[in-house]
Amino acid sequence: MRLLVMKRIACAALLLLAALTTTGCWNRIELNEVAITSATGIDWDGENWIVSYQVVIPAAISSVTGGSGGGGPKSPIIVYSTKGKTIRDAIMHSFSESPRKLFFAHNRVVVIGEKAMNRGINELIDVYFRNSGSRETVSVLATPGTARKILEQFMQLQAISGAGMKEIIISEMKNTSILPNIPVYQLAMELTGDAKSAVVPEIFVSGSGDTSSLDSFSNTSIPSKLKLGRLAVLKDDKMIGWMSRKESLGAAYLRDSVQQSFIVVPCEGGEGKKGYDTIQILKSSTKIIPKLRGSKLTFTADVDVSGTLLESNCAQDLYKPGVIQGLEQGGQVQISSLLQDAWKKGQQMNTDIFGAAEKVHRKYPKQWKEWGKNWDEVFKEAPLETKIKFRMARMGLSNKSFQYLMDKREK
């Protein structure tokens, strides 16, 4: 009996030990042995990959005085680069210059330089999907210069600019939706989709000079800032051009990625004065419906938006339904033109970033066999019709515009 119990315990212990080997690697590492990477930069110098790392210096960030004495302000981050034939090769070279092992699990953004974007980024996606250390939710950003330059910039309010960049793109997407947040997995999905096209938001240094020194923060204004800009358009993993912010917003509507946005609608201020109404888009949903007219493929974008009036400087009496209808019509025209511009730009660049290919593939699987071979040609010829349902949900707290009240008093 006792022997049996002992045997059982030995068995259980053995199984536990066996399970050890299945975990793959011995990954015990203390917190002060890792270099927490907050942002990675990828550049291409024509022959080699240059990978830059923005590494967090915890002691400099935390208010806790963990032993290290005072002194002047210390940089909370440090940036360095390594070079290699492949991306992983470059990363491996980091071991010869960093006292700590690079730790990518908390990496927030990967910034890709323009040269690398032009060359193609298949390798990068492969690195992300093959290794467990880095997450596929990392946001991808493109920059017209070198990625390293972006990583070196300090940011206001956020000590770690890598995390800051992620926060900017997330908040931008939530509030204005001009540029989408593109995580690595989404980029990979779009590039392997039917259209083989994708978009990546741009980040650039605006202003003169750079803010790579903490000294800049002794002034109330800093010489330069990291800023989101245009939208990089990719085809077959290579960048083929930029879309302006306006076109980018149109693309966002077409891609149905608008969460919250705004439009500025011109209005008649009466007595020939020109004014503008600012409308916040609270809800938006878009359906792209392909249609076959004869043998010609056409698309209809069915957009359903509702908004609230944020600002009005026309003399309007918003009690009148007609005025509201006017606003709605203005919004429809605006959005329609946004969509058309974006669509045309896409056709011009010969790339379908709107996901139209998938829609066609699903609706006309038979014809797709033919079209799929030269989708670009088909897409180029396909016109877009817009059907926009614009609903003004709220007018804000005051109904009559202030301008209207002023005008009335004058009379």
Partner 1 sequence: MPNDDKTTKQYENEAPKKETKPEQVLIPDLDINIERLHRFLGGGADIVCRTLQHRSFDNARYALLYIDGIVDGIGLNTMLLGLLDDANRYIEGGVESSLYHHLTERVIANGKLGEVNSINKACYAMLEGSTILVVDGSLRAIIIDTTGGKSRAVEEPSSQTVVRGPKEGFTENLRTNTSLIRRIIKSPDLRFDYKMIGHQTRTNIAIVYLEGIAEVEVIKEVHRRLDAIDIDGVLESGYIEEFIQDRAFTPFPLLQNTERPDAACAGILEGQVIIMVSGTPFVLQAPVTFVKFFQSSEDYYQRYDIATFLRIIRMTSFFISMLLPSLYIAITTFHQEMLPTSLLISLAAQREGIPFPALLEAFLMEITFEILREAGVRMPRIIGPAISIVGALVLGQAAVQAGIISAAMVIVVSFTAIASFVIPAVNMGVAARLIRFLLMILAGTFGLFGIMSGLMILLAHMCGLRSFGKPYLMPFAPFVASNLKDVLIRVPWWAMRTRPTNIASDKNITRAGAGQKPSPDQEGV
Residues that bind partner 1 (CB under 8 A): 12, 16, 19-20, 23, 27-32, 34, 36, 38, 56, 58-59, 61-62, 64, 66-68, 103, 105-106, 108, 135, 160, 163
The two beta strands, 139-143 and 49-56, are unpaired
- What minimum distance in Å lies between the beta carbon of 89 and partner 1? 24
* Residue 161 to residue 107: CA distance in whole angstroms: 11
Minimum Å distance from CB 68 to partner 1? 7
Is residue 364 within a helix (H) or strand (E), and if so which, with residue range?
A: none
Which amino acid appears at position 198 of this protein?
A
Q: How far is the CB of 168 from partner 1 (least distance, A)?
A: 16
Count CB-CB contacts under 10 A for residue 100.
14
For partner 1, give the closer residue by CB, 23 or 220.
23
Measured from the CB atom, the residue of 58 and 241 that comes closer to partner 1 is 58
Nearest CA to 143 out of 242, 282, 214, 209 is that of: 242
Q: How far is CA 214 from each of CA 9, 78, 122, 351, rounded to the nearest angstrom?
A: 60, 12, 36, 42
Output DSSP code: residue 138.
P
Burial environment of residue 367 by CB neighbours within 10 A (0 to 12, 13 to 18, 19 or more): middle
Tell me how far, at minimum, the Cβ of 91 lies from partner 1, in Å. 17
What is the C-alpha to C-alpha distance for residues 127 and 131, in angstroms, rounded to an integer?
6
Match 């006309």 to its residue by tokens: 364
Question: Among residues 8 and 85, whose Cβ is nearest to partner 1?
Answer: 8
What is the four-CA torsion angle of 360, 365, 369, 373, rounded to 10 degrees? 20
Nearer to partner 1, 170 or 393 (CB): 170
Which C-beta is closer to partner 1: that of 103 or that of 375?
Answer: 103
Indicate the residue among 144 and 183 with the shorter CB distance to partner 1: 183
Q: Give the Cα separation of 150 and 164 in Å (integer).
A: 12
- Residue 348 burial (10 A CB sphere; 0-12, 13-18, 19+): exposed
| 327 SS3 class | helix
Q: C-beta of 159: minimal distance to partner 1 in Å?
A: 9
Rounded Cα distance, 213 and 74, in Å: 10
In the complex, minimum distance from the CB of residue 3 to partner 1, in angstroms, rounded to a whole number: 17
Structure tokens at 209: 């000079």
In the bound complex, what is the minimum distance in angstroms from residue 27's beta carbon to partner 1?
Answer: 6
Closer to partner 1 by Cβ: residue 135 or 400 = 135
CB-wise, 108 or 235, nearer to partner 1? Answer: 108
Q: How far is the CB of 81 from partner 1 (least distance, A)?
A: 22
